[in-house]
Structure 1
Amino acid sequence: MPAAAARCGCPLLLRQQPAAGLRRSFSSYSGMRRVCAAAGGGSGSEGRPPAYGGLLLDAGGTLLQLARPVAQTYAALGRPYGVTKREEYIKQGFKRAFSAPWPKTLRYQGDGRPFWKIVVAEATDCTNNDYFEEVYQYYARGDAWRLPDGAYRTLHDLKDAGVKLAVVSNFDTRLRKLLKELNVSDLFDAIIVSSEVGYEKPAPEIFRIALDQIGVEASKAVHIGDDETADKAGANAIGLECWLWGEDVKTFSEIQDRILARNPQ
């Protein structure tokens, strides 16, 4: 028996089919998961329904991880433009720019360029527009980012189990392109971007919009993000549970186990 099929919990179904029929029925892994789910093995532990009907995910810092550190990228791209600041200086400048009060309602308006110009200039002391554009376009490419280990498999399995999936992110209009290039865009039932909806976490409206679009009540969903205020406080304010990435959950397999009630806490 294929190991993947055994994990789906469908031994009776497998034993009833001849080898040739087995190859035809299970010609792909996703097809196999659909058969297993129909047999009662794809909706949580021992056939139980998922503990949560909806999963909301933060993007940057949670679902999307940087391929290399920001300071390293800023320094490398900046050398042809005369940027000589050390990476530690760039890192601290980046943090200052992000933590400073933003005078407008949203940090990210449309493509987010006004905000990011301030960040790049504060971090590097370089205001060259060509340099800024190179940095900006670099982070608009999927290869500047990566998914955490196991994220793709977990999202597929949760979707097959009937869990509704949404991204809820304080980001600009580049996000949809990034998710598409990382081959996860089609897995989500909703993608909620602050620059598109006019609300930024921790505003309750952005969470409500996501829940409305996936059709799940706050009490039956969980949000995962990496920011104590924007993610946890914002979600909790509307009765939405939140697990902090890196603290409450550290891997996507752990997320899957908790949502499918294999290891309820």
Structure 2
Amino acid sequence: MRGPLRWVLWDVKDTLLKVRSSVGEQYCKEAERVGLRLDASEVDHAFRQVYQSYSHRHPNYGVSHGLSGQAWWTGVVRETLSQCRVQDPALLNTVANNLYRNFCNAENWEVFPDSVRTLEKCSCLGLKLGVVSNFDSRLEAILHSCGLLSHFSFLITSEEAGVAKPSPAIFNQALKKCGTTCDCVAHVGDHYVNDYLSPRSVGIHGFLLDRHNKHNQADIPLEHRLRSLDELPSRLQQHMD
């Protein structure tokens, strides 16, 4: 690293926290509340197809097509359940809107055991923290409900930014908020392209979290790989002087 490190930017989903149970299980649980009995594996399969289709037709929550994150997600839910033979429009709308609200709540998310202590250690080192996430506008409420929001000086979601990782533009927005040069900023996340290659393309230092040893790309030096977030503070400290 060339300059003294001052900021650490964070991915959120699958880096600091994860969905507590499968989409199919979550959707089935909510459907049961309105009297629908669905098969979780079938719902999971339908969701994967619908999510891929929506992401292709309306990327980044349909921002460029005039959609909101809520409209995008409730559309995904309705179409997923429709593929599972739920046809009543009122039921589809009820389940979709309830699920959208429910995913703001901490009970639907699991914070990784190493997240809080690593955020605290980074702050104790004098580093400022921000979020850059391909997420919708619910992210602030989710981080608040999970007890993580207070660690961050700012949040940038792809819905708010109007552009998503891996576009360098979202990281350029983050650099403006940091008010410093790229060599004083690092980014941490679990996605090889979005969280490692993309920030590095604008000069931000990338650290790739690889909890399950699934990344075998040859262009990632060992010092940029993390098996756990617990490894991060000592790596950062080496580059703060």
Q: After TM superposition, is the score higher than 0.5?
A: yes
Correspondent of 1:230 among 163, 177, 194: 194
Output the TM-score relative to the length of structure 2: 0.77
Backbone CA RMSD of aligned residues: 2.6
Say if 1:149 and 1:252, in contact at 8 Å, map to a contact too: no
Taking the aligned partners of 1:180 and 1:54, their CA distance within structure 2 comes to: 21
CA distance in 1: counterparts of 2:145 and 2:59, whole angstroms:
29
CA distance in 1, matches of 2:135, 2:60: 10
Letter in 1 for 2:158: S
Structure-2 residue corresponding to 1:107: 61
- Is 1:117 the counterpart of 2:74 in the alignment? yes
Provide structure 2 residue ranges, at least 5 long, that are not aligned to the other structure: 214-224
Runs of 4+ in 1 over 6 A off after TM superposition: none
In structure 2, the residue matched to 1:54 is 7
1:186-207 deviation line (CA, Å, top 9, x unaligned): 2112211122222211121111
The CA deviation string for residues 120-179 of structure 1, in whole angstroms up to 9 with x for no partner, is 234333461001111111101123213211211211121121112111011122111121
State the Cα distance separating 1:226 from its structure 2 match: 2.6
Equivalence for 2:236: 259
Correspondences of 1:241-256 after superposition (within 5 Å): 241-246=205-210, 247=213, 248-256=225-233
Q: Which digits, 9 at most, give the CA deviation of each residue in 1:93-141, with x for residues without a partner?
A: 2222333344446316485112212322343334610011111111011
Q: Is 1:182 aligned with 2:146?
A: yes
CA distance in 2 between counterparts of 1:228 and 1:84 reads 38
- Structure 1-normalised TM-score? 0.70
User: How far does the alpha carbon of each residue in 1:45-72 deviate from its partner, in whole angstroms, 9 at most, with x for none?
Assistant: xxxxx97432111122222212222221
Tell me the SS of whatever aligns to 2:226. Answer: coil
Q: Distance in 1 between matches of 2:62 and 2:236?
A: 31
Residues 1:139 and 2:92 aligned together: no
Whole-angstrom distance in 1 between the partners of 2:80 and 2:193: 23
Structure 2 counterparts to residues 1-265 of structure 1, below 5 A: 52-81=5-34, 83-100=36-53, 101-104=55-58, 106-107=60-61, 109=63, 112-125=69-82, 126=86, 128-246=92-210, 247=213, 248-261=225-238
* Residues 108/218 of structure 1: CA separation in 2 closer, same or farther (3 Å cut): farther
Structure 1: gaps spanning 5 or more residues: 1-49
Aligned equivalents of 1:165 and 1:63: distance in 2?
13
Structure 1 residues 87, 180: closer, same or farther in 2, change over 3 A? same
Tell me how far apart the structure 2 counterparts of residues 112 and 160 of structure 1 sit (CA, whole Å): 35
Distance 2:51 2:198 in 1: 18
Distance 1:122 1:250, change over 3 A: farther
